[in-house]
Every structure is written in C-alpha cells, then in structure tokens.
Structure 1
Amino acid sequence: MTRVLDTMPGEDEEGTSTVAGETHQLQIPISRVKKIMKLDQDINKINSEALYLIASSTELFLELLAEKSAQVALEKKRKTIKLEHLRVAVKRHKPTSDFLLDSLPMPSQPLDRSPKVQSRPRSSTDNPLPSGTRRIEAFFQKCT
C-alpha cells in the first residue's frame, strides 16, 4: 500500500503556520521532520498541514516528557535530569510507557562506592621479561 500526501501551501520551510489568525512558530525544524517522514518508503508527498501537525505534536510530546522528567528530578532533589528520571517519568505515564519504555536504554549498574582494598604497588620484577630485553628502569639507574 502506498500512501500519497499532497503538498499544499500554507506553511513555509521554517515551520511558521497561520491558524485562525494566530502565528505559531515551531521550535523543531520543519524540513528535518519532513526528511524523517520521507525515510518511510510508503510516503511520497507530505501535506503541509499534516507536516505541521506532526511537528507540533512532537513538540508537545517532548514538552510533556521534559516536564514529567523534571518533576521526577525535583522529587529526588536533583538539578540535572538523568536517564533514570526519564525512565521513571515514562513508567508513570501509561500511554507513553506502552511504546517508549522498550526503546530507552537500560540503566547502568550503580557504582559500588565501598572503600577499595589498597593493593601493594606492582613491582617491576613481578613480570618476567622476554630474553634479550631490559626494563626501562635499568636505563635510568645511576652509574657507580
């Protein structure tokens, strides 16, 4: 099945659209959204209204995701939003978790912050050398 969407006037390449006398400037580059949509081989042409709606929906979705992630970060008393905050926000929002949770990378294992056992410094004599070679320390020793 081939989808054909006609390109119609009403929006320029910068993403400005006039709807009921109001002008709304998109933050996402409309040309990039169009390129991404054209990656689908079934799409030949894209209606400018459909392109605007998809770009606008994407902005709204990202805004929602950012707000929810920021809430989680604030709850955990953090100033920086991390992947774990995003995962929690996605899990809390059921419609989003249905499709997005599997796409997010798995969280890294927390680092074990227990004090490390001090190991003795490795001696240069611990590892045997192949025959015919000398250690670099031999070059820097004082001649007596």
Structure 2
Amino acid sequence: MKFISGITFAVLLSGTTAVHAQVNAADSVMTHAKGNKLSLGGYGEAAYSRNFYSDNGNRYTTPGLYKKDPSHGRFDIPHAVIYLGYDFGKGWSVGSEIEFEHGGSGSAIEYEADEAIEFEHETEKGGEVELEQFWLQKSFSKAFNIRAGHIV
C-alpha cells in the first residue's frame, strides 16, 4: 500500500510542478523585458517518425513496389506555446499565451484497401489553437499587483 501511495504522491507532485513551470514561464516573459516594451517567448516539441509501411492503397496487391516508398516519414508538432507580453508603462501591462497542439489544424486522407481502395478525406487529424491565457495587469509595487483576465 505504501508503494501505491508513493506513486500517487509522485504523480500529483509532477502535475503541480508542471503547472508551476507553466505559470513561471509565462511570468518570466513579462519580467525579462528589461527596458523593451514588447516581450516574446515560448516553447514546444517536434516529433519525427519513420514508419516501415506505406500509406499507398496498392501496397497490398504489389507490396514490392512500395517497400522503399519515401513517403513513410511522419512529422508532428504535438505542443507549441507562444507567449506575448507588452508593457504600456506606469505599471500597466498585458500578457497572453497561445497554444498550438498538433500543428493547429489539418486533415487526413484514409485509404480503404478492402473497399477497392476507397479514399476518404476526414478532419480527424486536426489539432487545436487555443488562447490559454490573456490578462491585463496593474503593478503598484513589486509586492502588490492586480491581474484580471482569462488564466487557466
């Protein structure tokens, strides 16, 4: 039972660490401006995979022709975030976080070899673009700020 409790604690701790890292990253865009009014930041990840099969519908009838098909590669951007901040002066600033998942949008063509190689165009592969955070902040001092907006 102690082992399961330890795993649960580790999962909860890692989840809160990720949330704090996201908030700290968004705040760092605003604090690292150092004289510039506009600040920009972000992070992301990209994944490339090489599959050992072909998407061509004829691969079942003549597999030898598609063994070395160059279209086996797949590229995806699972997660990318852009932070934008602007300091208006006199303590007023605005910040935002825009999140792109799986490239933002897209579609996929599905090949059905069982149905005489039927082509179906579907939007199941599409990603998301979200405005995760947007806030307006008034800073009175380093110890006291008021922030209003959409903060996830």
Same topology, TM > 0.5: no
Structure ID, larger Rg = 1
Compare the two structures and name the one with the higher helix fraction: 1
Q: Give the structure-2-normalised TM-score.
A: 0.28
Q: Give the structure-1-normalised TM-score.
A: 0.29
Compare the two structures and name the one with the higher strand fraction: 2
